[in-house]
Amino acid sequence: MKERLILIAFVPLILALSGCTTQQEILFKEVAKKTHAAVTPSRIPFPEVQEWYWPRHEAVNERLKQGNVDLLFVGNSIMNGWDNTGKKYWDQYYASRNAVNMGFGWDWTQHTLWRLDHSDFSNISPKLAVVLIGTNNSNGNDNTAEEIADGIIAICGRLHTQFPKMKILLLAIFPREPGPCPQREKITRANQLTSRIADGKTIYYLNLSRLFLSKDGKLRQELMPDFLHPNEEGYRVWAKAMEPKITELLGEK
């Protein structure tokens, strides 16, 4: 019995010395082997977006080429909204932090992966990326919760590979629709699965869903009038809630 206790006591040291693979590394490797749509980089096909999407892509790329970028925002229309609906609070919280908004309306995870593969990161070394993506993949039967989580993990993996020293603040997909429903349940499950890549060292997970929900689970329409996108007040609430973590991760305190 004494020998067994000694062995157990040394297990943590043995594992540390063996350089065992972390859960984050395991998930990155597992997702890299998958081939479903949510993890396969794809140029966005929707005719409705072509007129504005590519000029925006070029403009973002030009900004990246200029360098002096400390903070990246990566996502879909909800993130894109910092440029318009949420601009007042973008200017208040992020403009002075050398931030670049890489949020694009209509993006699914596969489209964000394509953009990351076709962005010029050669002249930047950001300190932090804020990632919010996946809600568009949750429509109907397009993707399962597991596939959505795979897509988000793939995006974080791309960013981590590109910028190994950069920290990533991964936000849970915001709730949507007026009340509890199958789509909301899928999003909740995807968030649970995605949160596993957070290690508190390079990737941090923050779930702000409670901000947008009333006690009975209904979406607060005064913050998300269309039950999907925040209005100006929604962006204010979001920025205020996220600020302590951003301050911490940027090393500003």
- Residues serving a catalytic function are 77, 226, 229
Torsion sign across C-alpha atoms 116, 119, 124, 128: negative
* Cβ–Cβ under 8 Å, residues 70 and 250: yes
CA distances to 3, 65, 178 from 58, in Å: 65, 10, 36
Cα distance between residue 140 and residue 127, in whole Å: 36
**Cβ(169)–Cβ(133) under 8 Å?**
no
Candidates 109, 107, 59; CA nearest to 80 is 107
Mutual orientation of helices 145-162 and 23-32 as an angle, nearest 10°? Answer: 110
Instruction: Identify which of 170, 143, 183 has the alpha carbon closest to the alpha carbon of residue 37.
Output: 143
Q: Are 94 and 88 in contact (CB under 8 A)?
A: no
Residue 247 identity:
T
Which amino acid, 55? P
Cβ atoms of 100 and 163 closer than 8 Å: no
